[in-house]
Amino acid sequence: MKELFGSFLHPDEMALARQYMQDGYVIRDVEDTGSLDHLEDIIRTSVCSHLDTPSSRSGPDLLWRIHEYVTPDRLNDLRLRVIHDLNDAEHSLQSFYKCAASCLSTIVGNELAAQRSFALSIQMPDDDSSLLPAHSDVWSEDSPFEVVLWLPFVDCTGTMSMFLLPPSQTAWAHEQMVALQNEGVESFYGKISDLVVRPEVRRGQFMIFNHSLVHGNRVNVEGASRWSLNGRFKSLFSPYAEKRLGDYFVPITTRPATRLGMSYRLPDGFDE
C-alpha cells in the first residue's frame, strides 16, 4: 500500500493544508455570505439600539466610523452589549461556523466542537484600552489542537489587523522568551516585532489561524475602527486543555456513527 496518511485529501485540500502548516494561517472568501450578513445585521441592530440611533440613519460605514459615536471609556459597554446580543441571537454560532465550514473541515475535521460564545473585538483608532500583548493561547488555557476563526466586518489592513509570528520563528521566539523571563512582555514583543506579519483580511473574507503561534495586536493607527469576531474550533475527540467540552466547547457536528457507538452495549449476562 503506497498511499500515505492524508494523501486521500483532494488536491485543493492538500494545498490549503500545506499553506496552513507553512504560514500558520489561511485567508479565504466567506463561504456563506448570507451568514456573514446575518451576523452583521445583529451587530448593527445592537449598536443602533445601544446608541439610540434608528438603524435607518446608520450608514454602511457605521462600524468602521464607530469612534465618531463612542468614546473609549464607553467602548466596553458597547462591546458587552453587542456580544450579549450576538450570543443571545438564534443561530449566531451556526452562522459563524457556516462562514468557513468547508475550510474548517479541511484543517480541523468534520466532527467538531466549537467555542460556545465567540468573542468580539472592537479596536478604535489610537485606543490602547483593548490591546492583547504578544501571547500564544496555549500558554494559558487552550490546547494546541484548536484553531481560531477570525471574521472581520470591516477591511482590516496594517495595524487594524492582528500580528502573528510565522511558524518558522517559533523555536527561536521560545528561546528569546526564556532569555527575557525577568522582563515584561513588551521586551519580548520588542524582540519579535520585526519578524511578525499582519495578514490583511477584508470584509467578506475570514482567516483561520494557529493560536499556538505568538500573536496579538497593537494600537490601531489606521483611522478606521476594526470589528471582528473570533472563536475556536477543534476536533471533537482531540485533547482539551482547561477549556473543556461542556462548559467552554460544545459539540456542533457529532456524526450518527459516533452517537450510535457511544450508546452501544454488548450483549450482557453470559455465564462461564
Partner 1 sequence: MVSTNSKAGHRGYIASRPVRGVQMPQRVQNLVVRDYASRAGLEYRLSAVEYAMPACYMMLEAVLAELEQLDGVILFSLYMLPRNPSRRKAIYQHVLDNDASLHSALEQTVLRYEADVSRFEELILLDAWMPKAHLGGYWHKTRI
Q: Which residues bind partner 1 (CB under 8 A)?
A: 116, 138, 143-145, 236-241, 244-247, 250-251, 254, 259, 262-263
Rounded Cα gap, residues 118 and 96, in angstroms: 9
CB of 97 to partner 1, least distance (A): 17
DSSP secondary structure code for residue 155 in this structure: -
Q: From CA 212, how far away is CA 20, in angstroms rounded?
A: 13
Nearest approach, Cβ of residue 64 and partner 1 (Å):
31
Q: Which is nearer to partner 1, 197 or 241 (CB)?
A: 241
Question: What cell does 234 get?
Answer: 477543534
Nearer to partner 1, 56 or 263 (CB): 263
13 — phi, psi (to 5°)?
-70, -40
- Shortest CB 251 distance to partner 1, Å: 6
- Under a CB-based contact definition with an 8 Å cutoff, are residues 82 and 47 in contact? yes
Nearer CB in complex with partner 1: 13/111: 111
Torsion of CA 39, 42, 44, 45, to 10 degrees: 170
Minimal distance, residue 119 CB to partner 1, in Å: 16
Q: Quick one: 172 or 237, whose CB is closer to partner 1?
A: 237
Q: How far is the CB of 92 from partner 1 (least distance, A)?
A: 14
Q: Which amino acid is at 235?
A: S
Q: In terms of CB distance, is 154 or 236 closer to partner 1?
A: 236
d(CA 240, CA 242): 7
